[in-house]
Structures are given as structure tokens and as C-alpha cells.
Amino acid sequence: MADILLIAGLSGAGRSQAADDLEDVGWFVVDNMPIALIDKVVELAATGEQSQLALVVGAATHQTDAVVVVHRLREAGHRVRVLFLDASTPELVRRYGATKRKHPLASRFSSVEEAIHEERSILETVKGAADLVIDTSSLNIHQLKSQIVELFAPGGDRDVMQLSLVSFGFKHGIPLDVDMVWDVRFLPNPHWEEHLRELSGLDDAVKSFTVDQPLAQEFLVKSQGMLEFLLPAYKAEGKSYLTIAIGCTGGRHRSVAVTEAIGSWLAANGLQPRITHRDIFR
């Protein structure tokens, strides 16, 4: 059976770049894939030497049609994942302005922002069906490639769910590409302790201040219990990726310390979470 990755997402969010990165790590990539040919191409891939096939779907309406094909391929026994590339509207407007390219829907609207809004609306169901969403708003091409390589380079266990933990600050916005958000602003804030303010949740003093108190310990016990319940259920449902965002006010102290604590617990239980501290240096 074939290992299929469908690359979808907003125009300008990085689909072509992601396809190039996948090709660099050994995937066979077909760009601007016609929907009518997907079944035939997958059939050829499944019987040939190249079983890892990445398909880049073009127009937004074609992407919505592709979701139906995904269900059919899964029923046929193929491993099929959907990667959705997203980005904030202001960042997409900036990119179109910098490249002087026209948005695919530009002829129907008076501004690029309106075209992006319409495309986002069309693709809402596709994003909802995606196994993994990557927000490229703040990623350069090298950072995007690093994520693609880490997630899709050969050698990983196909049956192991890939876990990601992201700390962030609510004042900088909630991440777009996460499955669940945990708010730890109920914990005392190290920012108001003068000797801790310039440190981060990676420093032992902040870790101790944040996670050693009874309220934090109770939260960790309950969050670990939730993960013990959820992870097998998600895996049984066929979910390949799970991203949990943990937020505090600024994303420098509490969320970082709690994310590190949960990551250590997951590692001690045989899992290898990918940990990112989005706002630690802001």
C-alpha cells in the first residue's frame, strides 16, 4: 500500500516550498495534481518502487473535492495524511505585495485581503479534515524545511503518533496550527518577582517557582491523566499528529516551565515530543 501525503492550504502559505522540501527527503512529488487522476497515480505508486507520494492540490475548490478522495483511499487501505499550510491574512497580504504575484481569486475581488478571506472560507472544511496544520506566518524557508524534514523524513515509526508541545503568550496571539490549548495563567506569575523577571521558564529558578507549588502539581497530575486517556483514543482513531499549545500572558515564564515539565513526563513514558517555545525571546 502507498503512503500518501496530500498538501493543501492557502495560496501563498508555502505549499510549493513544502513540496520541494519533501522531494529533498525522498518523496515523489506531483504538483498541481488533477483530482481525476489521484486514484490512478496512487495505484501506480502502490505497485511500484516509490511508495511515498506527495500530491500538491491547486485551486481551493479542487482541495475540497480532494477530501472525498482521501476517504476513499483510506478505505482502500492506503495510509493517507493531509498537510494544511496556513498563514495569517496580514502576512499573506505582505507576501503578495512583496512578490507582485496575483492571488488566484484576485479577478473576483477589489483587494487581495478580500480574496484571501474568500479562499479561507472555501478551505475551512479542508483545514478541519487535515491531520496536520502548519502556520507559516512567522517561518522562513529554512524553518519550514526543518519542520518538514522532522515530520516526514524517512526512518520514523509509521504507527507512532507525533506529539508537539508549543508554549506561547496570549498577548502575542493563539497559535493557528494546534489541536488544543491549555491556559496556565492561573499560576502565580514569575514576571512580578524581580529576581526572576529577566529569566525564562528554562531556568531552574523559574521552573521551581512555577511547577513546585501545589496548584501547579495538581494541574500536572490532571493533565498527565488526560493525556493517558486521550493518546490511545486518538491513536485508535488514526490520528497521526497531536499538537498542544500551553499559554501564559507573555510566553516566557509559566507556559515554558509547564511545557518542559509535561515534555519530560512524556519522554519518561517512552514518547518523544517536539517542543517549541514560540514567544520565549519576545
Residue 98 contacts residue 208 (beta carbons within 8 Å) = no
Q: Is the pTM of this model over 0.85?
A: no
Mean pLDDT of 215-243: 92
What's the confidence (pLDDT) of residue 193?
A: 96
Mean pLDDT of 138-156: 86
pLDDT digits (tens, 9 = 90+) for 34-75: 888 888 888 887 777 667 899 998 888 888 888 888 888 888
Residue 187 contacts residue 215 (beta carbons within 8 Å) = yes
Distance CA 14, CA 98 (A): 15
Q: Which of 145-154, 239-248, 256-265 has the highest mean pLDDT?
A: 256-265
